[in-house]
Amino acid sequence: MTISIRPASAADVEALCSLDLVARQEGGRREFIRGAVAAGTCHIAAADGLVVGYAVLNYNFYGQGFVDMLYVESGHRRRGAGAALLRAMEGLCRTRKLFTSTNLSNLPMQSLLARLGYELSGVIHNLDEGDPELVYFKLLRRTGRAD
């Protein structure tokens, strides 16, 4: 399976909304996807031409790069799309520090982050009741980037 990463376009919005289980049920997630695509902050992972996931990179977290969303369709998880998306976000990030977060209950994402060299940076309670948000960080090794 060949995975490619590219910026999402307006033509991808429906595919992204249909592969994301939350977006199928919540209008807020669909609006989030539409907004990220329109802002140019959303990138998609395609496996052999089929859209299988997406990531959103922004700079709203204390001016640092933050992967606001990483989502891979359930049938394509643990096949490299998540890692490819995160590596692409690292390559696109304009700051030397890149952050992301996941719920304590999301063990596969925690494993992926550890495998790619992310470090636990903090815990936020009270976002999702009974499921704290874990914040992760990676120092990117690029020169010429802002801090």
Question: Which pTM does this prediction carry?
Answer: 0.91
Q: Is residue 131 assigned to a domain? A: yes
- List of the chain residues with pLDDT < 70: 1, 142-147
Instruction: State residue 65's pLDDT score.
Output: 97
Q: Is residue 145 assigned to a domain? A: no
> Left if phi > 0, otherwise alpha if psi is -120 to 50, otherwise beta: which for 85?
alpha
**What residues make up the domain containing 63?**
3-139
CATH code, domain carrying 77: 3.40.630.30
Domain total for the chain? 1
At 133, give phi and psi (nearest 5°).
-95, 125
Q: Is residue 147 assigned to a domain? A: no
